[in-house]
Amino acid sequence: MPLLAIAVLAAGTYAFRLAGPLLRDRVEVPGRLRRLLPAATAVLLTALAVTAALTEDGGFAGWARPAGVLAAGVLALRRAPFPVVVVAATAVTAALRLCGVP
Amino acid sequence: MRSLWRTIGRGTLRDIALVCLADALVGASFGAIAVSGGLPPWAPVAMSLLVFAGGAQFAALGVVLAGGDPLAAVASGLVLNARLLPFGFAVADALGGRLATRLPGAHLITDEVVAFVLARHGTRARRVTFWTCGLALFASWNLAVAGGALAGGAVGDVAALGLDAAFPAVLLALALPALRERVTRRAALYGTAAALAATPFLPAGLPVLLSLGGLAVPGSRPAAGRRGPGARPE
């Protein structure tokens, strides 16, 4: 990863972040859009979580990783603390790979 | 410290600490995966300090490690980070009014911070929550990435440790509370299905943005006037 690529990604990301705080006083976000934001956030996070769990390089990532993420999801539903959720995901995935599951 | 305790509340402070710890585990896995994939240790460290967005970092790293073009890595990271634009509007009031606080504050906007701030009401509570959570996450994430990058060479096979499951797990845990609402859950279901179906055909990063289409499916759009988190103007 060349430094230039990191710099471009960083600059673009900062621009996305800064637009809201800078323009908020001048641009009025419509109420409808504002009400959609929490739902849109949840949709994006879910899609990112599921695609990151199931896919790699545009193909299936194997069973071990989604199984670990599923275990984490069950623990999160039972309101387990965040670190427990993360450790469970890696532990289940590692255990399955140890048993030969890809 | 006591006033911080009172403004944020003990429960939220504990939640912030736990999210920091969880993100530290994810950050360590990011550093280790990058270095064991052949990148020099400074690359994941510089990326984490300057980009500071786990999703985009993992997406860009995935493209690079798969032998993809750096331009494609940048593009997929930027597409993924486009969600920070609406996030910025959603939490803008929590950064403070002065330019001197908005400029550095903007860099601290992440999924986690937005989730915490949207759950708070009242300008002061939102402001204190934003800065506490943002600074704590920035410190723990970057220290952990550096630690992971240093250890990465020694760890060897990161896949055997299941480290790649840490990132999706923390994202799912962040999304689940909002999914308790039926309408949001339905939108997420449709959107995620669309993203999965598109993954083999579209460049990395785009399928996730496609998931927003789930909000357009009838019956999955939050009703007007619903008072969800963030629905109140101030």
Residue B226: per-residue pLDDT? 44
Whether residue B83 is found in the same domain as residue B141: yes
For A69, nearest residue in chain B (alpha carbons): B169
Residue B232: per-residue pLDDT? 36
Measured between CB atoms, does A59 come within 8 Å of chain B? yes
The full 3-state SS of chain B, as one line of letters, equals CHHHHHHHCHHHHHHHHHHHHHHHHHHHHHHHHHHHCCCCCHHHHHHHHHCCCHHHHHHHHHHHHCCCCHHHHHHHHHHHHCCHHHHHHHHHHHHCCCHHHHHHHHCCCCHHHHHHHHCCCCHHHHHHHHHHHHHHHHHHHHHHHHHHHHHHHHHCCCHHHCHHHHHHHHHHHHHHHHHCCHHHHHHHHHHHHHHHHHCCCCCCCHHHHHHHHHHHCCCCCCCCCCCCCCCCCC
Whether residue B141 is found in the same domain as residue B185: no
Whether residue B14 is found in the same domain as residue B52: yes
pLDDT digits (tens, 9 = 90+) for B64-114: 887 777 887 888 788 778 878 888 988 999 998 899 999 999 999 998 898
Residue A71: per-residue pLDDT? 97
Range of the domain at B163: 2-178
Residue B223: per-residue pLDDT? 62
pLDDT digits (tens, 9 = 90+) for A6-65: 999 999 999 999 999 999 878 777 777 777 877 887 888 899 899 989 998 788 999 999
What does pTM read for this prediction? Answer: 0.80
Whether residue B147 is found in the same domain as residue B50: yes
Whether residue B88 is found in the same domain as residue B121: yes
Whether residue B172 is found in the same domain as residue B206: no
Whether residue B204 is found in the same domain as residue B217: yes
Residue B159: per-residue pLDDT? 84
Measured between CB atoms, does A101 come within 8 Å of chain B? no
- Give the number of beta-carbon pairs within 8 Å between A and B: 307
For B40, nearest residue in chain A (alpha carbons): A1
pLDDT (tens, 9 = 90+) of chain B, 234 residues, equals: 567 777 778 888 998 999 899 899 899 999 998 998 889 999 999 999 999 998 889 878 877 887 777 887 888 788 778 878 888 988 999 998 899 999 999 999 998 898 889 888 888 999 999 999 999 999 999 999 999 999 887 776 778 889 889 889 988 988 898 899 999 999 999 999 999 999 899 877 778 888 889 998 887 776 654 444 443 333
Whether residue B157 is found in the same domain as residue B213: no
Q: Rg of chain B over CA atoms, in angstroms?
A: 18
Measured between CB atoms, does A91 come within 8 Å of chain B? yes
**Lowest model confidence (mean pLDDT) among A68-72, A88-92, B114-118, B184-188:** B114-118
Whether residue B133 is found in the same domain as residue B184: no
Residue B47: per-residue pLDDT? 96
Measured between CB atoms, does B80 come within 8 Å of chain A? yes
Whether residue B11 is found in the same domain as residue B95: yes
Distances (CA, A) of A8 to A14, B41, B47, B83, B126: 10, 19, 11, 17, 31
Of B159, B178, B197, the position where a domain reaches its end is B178
Whether residue B205 is found in the same domain as residue B146: no
Of B136, B162, B178, the position where a domain reaches its end is B178
Domain count, chain B: 2
Cβ contacts of A45 on chain B, cutoff 8 Å:
111, 171-172, 174-175
CA B153 to chain A, closest CA, distance in angstroms equals 17
The set of residues, in sequence order, having a beta carbon less than 8 Å from that of B122 and lying 6+ positions away, is: none
Of B150, B178, B206, the position where a domain reaches its end is B178
Whether residue B34 is found in the same domain as residue B82: yes
Instruction: Round to whole Å and give the CA distance between B215 and B227.
Output: 17
Instruction: Round to whole Å and give the CA distance between A24 and B13.
Output: 28
Residue B93 CB neighbour total at 10 angstroms: 18
For A100, nearest residue in chain B (alpha carbons): B160
